[in-house]
Structure 1
Amino acid sequence: MTRKMAAIPIHAATALLAFAVAHPATAGEVTAPSAFFAQPPGSDYFLADYTAYEAYLKRLASQSDRMKLVDIGKTSEGRTQWMAIVSSPANLAKLEYYRDIARRLAKAEGLTGDQAHALAAEGKAIVWIDAGLHANETVTSQGQIQVLYRMLTQTDAETRRMLDDTIILFAHDNPDGMEFVSDWYMRNVDPKKREFGTLPRLFQKYAGHDNNRDSFMAQLAETENINRQMFRVWYPQIIYNQHQTGPAGMVVFVPPFRDPFNFHYDPIVMTELDELGSAMHSRLIEEGKAGSGMRSAAAYSTWHNGMVRSVSYFHNSIGLLTEIIGGPTPATIPLIPSTQLARGDEPLPVAPQAWHLQQSLDYQWTLNRAVIDYASRNRERLLFNIYRMGANSIARGSEDSWTITPATVAALQAAPALKESSVDEYGRPRTGPKRVDPALYGTIAHAPDKRDPRGYILSADQPDMPTTIAFLNALIKNGVDVERATASFAVAGKTYPAGSFIVKTAQAYRPHILDMFEPQDHPHDLEYPGGPPKAPYDITGYTLAFQMGVKFDRILDGFDGPFDPVPDLLAPPPGHVVGQGTAGWLISHRTNNGFILTNRLLKAGIRPAWLTDPVALGTEPASAGAVWIPASSRAAAIVTQATRELGIDAFAQASTPAGPQIALKPVRIGLVDRYGGLISSGWTRWILEHFEFPYALVFPKRLDAGRLRRNFDVLVFTDGAIPAPTGSPWKTDRSAPPPKPETIPAQDRPLLGVITEAKTVPAVKHFVEDGGAVVAVGGSTRLAELIGAHLAPALSQDKGAKALDTKQFYIPGSLLQARIDNREPLAYGLPDHVDVFFDKDQSFTPAASATGVHKVGWFDGPTPLRSGWAIGQERLVGTIALAEVDLGKGKLFVLSPEVTQRAQSYATFKLFFNGLLFGGAQAPAPVPAP
Structure 2
Amino acid sequence: MSVRALLFATALASAPVGAGAQVTAPDRFFKQPVGSDYYLANYAEYEAYLKRIAGESDRIKLMDIGKTAEGRTMWVAIVSSPANLARLDEYRSTAEKLARGRVSEAEARQLAATGKAVVWIDAGMHATETVTSQGQIQVLHKLLSGSDAETLRTLDDCILLFGHDNPDGMDLVSNWYMRHADPKKREFATLPRLYQKYIGHDNNRDSYMANMPETENVNRVLFRQWYPQIVYNQHQTGPEGMVVFVPPFRDPFNFNYDPIVMSQLSEVGFAMHSRLIAEGKAGSGMRSAARYSTWHNGMERSVSYFHNSIGLLTEIIGGPTPEKIPLVPATQLPRGDEMLPIAPQEWHLQQTLDYQWSLDRAVIDYASRNRERLLFNIWRMGANSIARGNTDSWTITPTKVGRLDAAAPLEARGARKVDPALYKTLMQAPAERDPRAYVIPADQRDLPTAVTFLNALIKNGVEVERADQPFSAGGKSYPAGSYVVRTAQAYRPHVLDMFEPQDHPHDTEYPGGPPKAPYDVTGYTLAYQMGVTFDRVLDPFDAPLTAVPDLMTPPPGRIIGSGQAGWLVGHETNNSFILTNRLLKVRVPVRWMSGATSADGAALQPGALWVPASTKARAILEKGTAELGITAHAVAAQPSGASIALKPVRVGLVDRWGGLMPAGWTRWLLERFEFSFEQVFPQRLDAGNLARDYDVLLFTDDAMPPKGAWGSDRPGQQPEVVDTPTEMRRMLGTATDAKTAPAVAEFVRGGGAAVAIGSSGRLAELLGTALKPALSRQVDGAPRPLDTKEFFIPGTVLRARVDNTQPLGFGLPSEVDVFFASSQTFMPPFGAPGTRRVSWFEGRDLLRSGWAVGEEKLAGTIAVADVDVGRGKLFLMGPEVAQRAQSYGTFKFLFNALLYGGAER
TM range (shorter): over 0.9
SS of residue in 2 equivalent to 1:791: coil
CA contact 2:248–2:286 (8 Å) conserved in 1? yes
- Residue pair 1:13, 1:232 contacting (<8 A) in 2 also: no
Q: CA deviation at 1:331?
A: 1.1
**Separation (CA, whole Å) in 2 of partners of 1:786 and 1:688:** 26
The reply on whether 1:387 has 2:369 as its aligned counterpart is no
1:492-543 CA distance string (max 9 Å, x none): 2211111100000000000000000000000000000100000000000000
1:598 counterpart (580, 583, 586): 580
3-state SS, counterpart of residue 866 of structure 1: strand
- TM-score, normalised by the number of residues in structure 2: 0.98
Q: Does 1:336 align with 2:349?
A: no
How far the C-alpha of 1:417 sits from its partner, in A, is 2.1
Q: 2:31 aligns with which of 29, 38, 54?
A: 38
Please say if residues 668 and 711 of structure 1, whose CA atoms lie closer than 8 Å, have aligned partners that are also in contact.
yes
Tell me by how many angstroms 1:744 deviates: 2.7
Matched, 1:556 2:549: no
Instruction: Please say if 1:473 is aligned against 2:470.
Output: no
- Contact 1:13–1:233 (CA<8 Å) still a contact in 2? no
Q: Post-superposition shift, 1:659?
A: 1.1
Distance in 2 (alpha carbons) for counterparts of 1:222 and 1:431: 52
- Match of 1:581? 563
Q: Give 3-state SS (helix, strand or coil) of 2:817's partner.
A: strand
Please list the CA deviations of residues 570-612 of structure 1 after superposition, one character each: whole Å capped at 9, or x if unmatched.
1100000111111111111000111001101111111211001
Offset at 1:16? 4.4
Match of 1:19 in 2: 8
Q: Deviation at 1:624? A: 0.2
Counterpart code for 1:53: Y
| 782-791 or 279-288, larger mean C-alpha shift | 782-791
CA shift for structure 1 position 620: 5.8
Equivalent residues of 2:745, 2:767 under 8 A apart:
yes
Match 1:229 to one of 221, 231, 234: 221
Q: 1:914 to 1:446 in 2, by over 3 A?
A: same
Equivalent residue in structure 1 for 2:714, among 734, 741, 749: 734
Find out whether 1:763 has 2:743 as its counterpart: yes
Q: For 1:508-907, what aligned pairs fall within 5 Å after superposition?
A: 508-617=490-599, 621-725=603-707, 728-798=708-778, 801-848=783-830, 850-907=832-889
**1:413-448 CA deviation, whole Å, 9 max, x = no partner?**
1214298xxxxxxxxxx8842111100000110110
In 2, Cα distance between the equivalents of 1:672 and 1:20?
A: 45
The more displaced of 26-35 and 912-921 is: 26-35
Partner Cα distance (1:786, 1:335) in 2 = 44
- Of the three residues 273, 277, 284, the one matched with 2:265 is 273
Q: What is the alpha-carbon distance in structure 2 between the residues aligned to residue 560 and residue 212 of structure 1?
A: 39
- 2:196 corresponds to which of 195, 204, 207: 204
- The alpha carbon displacement at 1:622 in A equals 3.5
Q: CA deviation at 1:619?
A: 7.4
| CA drift at 1:41 | 1.0
The residue that corresponds to 2:101 in the other structure is 108
Q: Flag the 1:431–1:631 CA change in 2: closer, same or farther, 3 A.
A: closer
Q: CA offset at residue 835 of structure 1?
A: 0.3
**Tell me, which stretches of 5 or more residues in structure 1 are unaligned?**
1-11, 420-429, 924-930
Q: Compute the displacement of 1:848 (Å).
A: 4.5
Which residue of 73, 79, 82 maps to 1:80? 73
Alpha-carbon separation, structure 1, partners of 2:327 and 2:479: 67
Matches within 5 A, 1:413-492: 413-417=405-409, 432-492=414-474
Query: Match of 1:211, as an amino acid?
Result: N
TM-score of the aligned structures, taking structure 1 as reference length: 0.95
Paired AA for residue 347 in structure 1 = M
Deviation at 1:722, TM superposition (A): 1.6
In 1, Cα distance between the equivalents of 2:715 and 2:269? 33
| CA positional deviation for 1:621 | 4.3
Q: Give the conservation status (yes or no) of the 8 Å contact 1:588–1:617.
A: no
**Is the 2:474–2:538 Cα contact (8 Å) retained in structure 1?**
no
Structure 2 residue aligned with 1:926:
none
CA 1:737/1:846 → structure 2, altered by over 3 Å: closer, same or farther? farther
**Deviation of residue 410 (structure 1)?**
1.1
- Are 2:467 and 2:483, in contact at CA under 8 Å, matched by a contact in 1? yes
1:908 paired with 2:900, answer: no
Deviations 1:341-368 (A, max 9, x none): 1111111111111111111111000000
* 1:310 pairs with 2:325: no
Q: CA deviation at 1:28?
A: 3.3
Residue aligned with 2:710, SS: coil
Aligned mates of 2:552, 2:755 — CA distance in 1 = 33
CA contact (8 A) 1:790 1:849 kept: no
Q: Distance in 1 between matches of 2:346 and 2:544?
A: 67
What's the secondary structure of 2:743's corresponding residue? Answer: helix
**Structure 1 CA distance for aligned equivalents of residues 555 and 413 of structure 2:** 63
Give the Å deviation of 1:720. Answer: 1.2
Of 106, 112, 117, the match for 1:120: 112
Task: Map Cα deviations across residues 116-169 of structure 1 (whole Å, 9 max, x no partner).
Answer: 111100000000000000011100000000000100010000000000000000
Match of 2:347 among 355, 371, 386: 355
Q: Structure 1, residues 38-76: CA drift from partner, whole Å, max 9, x if none?
A: 111111111111111111111111111000000000100
Residue identity matched to 1:369: R
3-state DSSP of counterpart to 1:814? strand
Give secondary structure in 1 for the equivalent of 2:493: helix
Map 1:66-215 → 2, pairs under 5 A? 66-109=59-102, 111-215=103-207
In 2, the alpha carbon distance for the partners of 1:569 and 1:230 equals 16
1:340: how far off? 1.1
Higher mean Cα deviation, 331-340 or 568-577?
A: 331-340
| d(CA) in 1 for partners of 2:388, 2:706 | 48
Contact 1:718–1:777 (CA under 8 A) maintained in structure 2: yes
* Displacement after TM superposition at 1:613 (Å): 1.4
Counterpart Cα distance in 2 of 1:521 and 1:619: 43
Q: CA deviation at 1:731?
A: 2.8
Residue 113 of structure 1: CA displacement?
A: 1.5
Change in 2 beyond 3 A, CA 1:461/1:287: same
Residue matched to 1:5: none
The total of aligned residue pairs comes to: 899
Provide the C-alpha distance between the structure 2 equivalents of 1:432 and 1:274, rounded to a whole number of angstroms: 31
**What SS does the corresponding residue of 2:793 show, helix, strand or coil?**
coil
Query: 2:829, 2:835 within 8 Å by CA — same for their partners in 1?
Result: no
8 Å contact from structure 1 (residues 418, 437) kept in 2: no
Distance in 1, Cα, partners of 2:227 & 2:772: 52
Shift of 1:486: 0.6
Tell me which moved more, 701-710 or 158-167: 701-710
Which amino acid is 1:277 matched to? G
Q: 1:404 and 1:637 mapped to 2: Cα distance?
A: 54
Q: Distance in 2 between matches of 1:456 and 1:15?
A: 36
Distance change in 2, residues 1:721/1:889 (3 Å) = same
One-letter amino acid matched to 1:90: A
Q: Is the 8 A contact 1:793 1:800 kept in 2?
A: no
